[in-house]
């Protein structure tokens, strides 16, 4: 390790938090990002520093181009060039709604936050990665996103993430000659507190919906991300990886 810098968006809580702790334990310097969760981000920043690495927490909304520029510029100024970009942040509307029930503002926000913002972040960090001839970019999708399937009540979110699937594969091919890998992580139905739990903590719990028989945890996702960040993982690029315990959470038909 040569003190590589990892920027993790949406990392004050949940899967982003677990990823930050995993990478910090392996010696990576960490740039946290949050929109509203300042208290949680500051607490996590302190915990990361206890692992002997540098850490900063930067407020920024990836739905806004000006915030993206400020975020990356701040990281470069305080920690150095971004070596690893983990695009975890992405707005999601939990209410189940038909596409016709979305407002124009909803459509723009979901598309901007889950597709356009991610593309702008990638575009901003690529020059630094190319200069080093090394980089890791990781996108977040949803289980089975690579199949571009129907997902009633999640039309806009699903469309943005499926668009990101194609972008992931294209960028992986374009940037491979520069030592940059691009992959997508697609978590399954990892719920609530499980997002911040370890594999050991959930291993005794029963989940009858998941073929594996236990619920997923934040560590399940963080461990895969850590593997993809290794130097020796440079031959793995352009992949869409489900981390779901075998569960298919998408229902192709509308049920009441």
Give the Cα separation of 171 and 169 in Å (integer): 6
- Catalogue all structural domains in the chain, each as residue range(s) with its CATH number: 5-242 (3.40.50.720)
Q: Which residues pair with 165 in a beta bridge?
A: none
Task: Quote the DSSP letter at residue 233.
Answer: G
In this predicted model, what pLDDT tens digit does every residue of 186-236 receive, in sequence order?
A: 998 888 888 878 888 888 888 878 878 887 888 999 999 999 999 999 999
In this predicted model, what pLDDT tens digit does every residue of 230-248 receive, in sequence order?
A: 999 999 999 999 998 887 7
pLDDT higher than threshold 80 for residue 85: yes
**Residue 117 confidence (pLDDT):** 97
In this predicted model, what pLDDT tens digit does every residue of 141-180 receive, in sequence order?
A: 998 899 998 889 999 999 999 999 999 999 999 999 999 9
Mean pLDDT of the chain: 93
Give the Cα separation of 193 and 141 in Å (integer): 20
Percent of the chain with pLDDT over 70: 96
Nearest CA to 182 among 224, 138, 123? 138
Would you say the pTM of this structure is higher than 0.85? yes
Percent of the chain with pLDDT over 90: 77
Nearest CA to 138 among 160, 164, 158, 113? 164
Q: Can you tell me the mean pLDDT for 38-54?
A: 96
Alpha carbon 191 to its chain's center: 16
Q: Are 92 and 111 in contact (CB under 8 A)?
A: no
Q: Can you tell me the mean pLDDT for 5-16?
A: 96
pLDDT higher than threshold 60 for residue 253: no
pLDDT higher than threshold 70 for residue 2: no
Q: Are 89 and 113 in contact (CB under 8 A)?
A: yes
Q: Which residues pair with 33 in a beta bridge?
A: 58
Q: Poorest-confidence range of 24-38, 43-57, 122-136, 141-155?
A: 141-155
pLDDT higher than threshold 70 for residue 41: yes
Task: Quote the DSSP letter at residue 173.
Answer: H
């Amino acid at each position: 390790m040569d003190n590589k810098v990892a920027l993790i968006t949406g990392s004050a809580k949940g899967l982003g938090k677990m990823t930050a702790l995993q990478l910090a334990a392996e010696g990576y310097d960490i740039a946290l990002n949050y929109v509203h969760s300042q208290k949680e981000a500051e607490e996590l920043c302190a915990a990361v520093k206890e692992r002997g690495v540098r850490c900063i927490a930067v407020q920024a909304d990836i739905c806004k181009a000006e915030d993206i520029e400020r975020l990356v510029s701040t990281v470069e100024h305080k920690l150095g060039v971004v070596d690893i970009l983990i695009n975890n942040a992405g707005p999601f509307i939990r209410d189940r709604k038909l596409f016709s029930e979305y407002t124009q503002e909803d459509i723009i926000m979901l598309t901007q936050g889950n597709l356009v913002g991610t593309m702008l972040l990638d575009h901003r960090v690529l020059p630094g990665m190319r200069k080093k001839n090394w980089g890791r970019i990781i996108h977040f999708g949803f289980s089975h996103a690579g199949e571009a399937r129907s997902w009633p009540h999640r039309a806009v979110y699903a469309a943005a993430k499926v668009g990101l699937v194609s972008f992931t594969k294209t960028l992986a091919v374009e940037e491979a000659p520069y030592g940059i890998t691009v992959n997508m992580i697609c978590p399954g139905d990892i719920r609530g507190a499980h997002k911040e739990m370890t594999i050991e903590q959930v291993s005794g719990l029963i989940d009858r919906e998941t073929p594996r028989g236990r619920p997923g945890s934040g560590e399940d996702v963080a461990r895969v991300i850590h593997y993809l960040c290794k130097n020796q993982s440079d031959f793995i690029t352009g992949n869409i990886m489900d981390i779901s315990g075998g569960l298919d959470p998408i229902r192709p038909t509308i049920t009441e």
